[in-house]
Amino acid sequence: MKGYSFFLPIALLMGLMRMTSAPQQKPTLDDLLHKMDEVAATFRSAEAQIESKNYEAVIQDFDEPETGEIYYRRNDKGLEMMLDITKPDKKQVLLDEGTIRLYQPKIDRVTLWNLGKNKAEFESYLVLGFGGSGQDLEKEFDVTNAGTEKIDGIATVKLQLAPKSQKVKNTFNQIVLWMDPNRGVAVQQQFFQPGGNYRLAKYTNIQVNGKKIPDDVFKLKTNGKTQVVSPGG
């Protein structure tokens, strides 16, 4: 009995070690798409800190990263987005009621683009990984689970998206999303252009359906002297 009582704790310890060291089941593509559907069904708002940079294939290097905050909300008017860049140069990009407004305080100018019939298509890109459903993702892209990768300590699922539309392929021939499988949101995105250039964006401090975002966030910080121009006339 003495020998038995001595080995019993060791046996229990070894059993616990096997339990804790057993590999956890990785989320499948269907699991992740279903989670995105759940998030989309209740999506009201999101906000995060953003760092983005563009890779130039010709010089094989990145430009200077831009940092700031990004906000989304969905209401009776549809989708609204505010990108508030603070470094290196301040600028704001506002999407509201089918119009994009770029405000550049340095030159005190707002540039307007009316999306018109492209409104739904443009918005679908904005919600990739932020309130877009898994069903919509599969309608527009061939989706491949490219495995897992840790981004800032988060075990993400890497999704490779190949656009089904040739029109989209002419702009982005591939998109990669690093998805947090527990929250169903993207922590990193990569948009590849046919020529080899790409944009890489990383999101931190992500809040989905958190506290109400003040209305003032979705307003450009212009003044009475700000020039307003529209490339379309």
Q: What does the buried/exposed string (b/e) look like for 176-190 if buried means 16 or more CB atoms within 10 Å of the residue's CB?
A: bbbbbbeebbbbbbb
pLDDT of residue 133: 93
**What DSSP character marks residue 173?**
S
Asked whether the predicted pLDDT for residue 30 surpasses 60, the reply is: yes
Tens of pLDDT, residue by residue over 78-95, are 899 999 999 999 999 999
Token couple for 152? 């800032």
Tell me what percent of the residues of the chain surpass a pLDDT of 90: 70
Asked whether the predicted pLDDT for residue 10 surpasses 70, the reply is: no
Cα separation, 19 vs 65, in Å, equals 43
**Residue 120 φ then ψ, to 5°:** -65, -40
* Domain extent listing, the chain: 26-229
Token couple for 182? 């527990």
Cα separation, 227 vs 4, in Å, equals 86
Q: Is the dihedral of CA 45, 49, 54, 60 positive or negative?
A: negative
Tell me what percent of the residues of the chain surpass a pLDDT of 70: 88
CB-count exposure of residue 119 (10 Å: 0-12, 13-18, 19+): middle
**What DSSP character marks residue 212?**
P
Model pTM score:
0.84
Tens of pLDDT, residue by residue over 119-147, are 878 888 888 888 999 999 999 999 999 99
Cα separation, 79 vs 200, in Å, equals 23
- Give 154's contacts (C-beta < 8 A, 6+ positions apart): 180, 187
Cα separation, 228 vs 175, in Å, equals 33
Mean pLDDT, rounded, for 5-12: 44
pLDDT of residue 134: 94
Q: Which numeric CATH code is attached to 26-229? A: 2.50.20.10
Tens of pLDDT, residue by residue over 176-208, are 999 999 999 999 999 999 999 999 999 999 999
**Residue 10 φ then ψ, to 5°:** -65, -45
Q: Who wins on pLDDT, 10 or 179?
A: 179
**What DSSP character marks residue 12?**
H
φ/ψ bin of 220: left (φ > 0), alpha (ψ from -120 to 50), beta (otherwise): beta
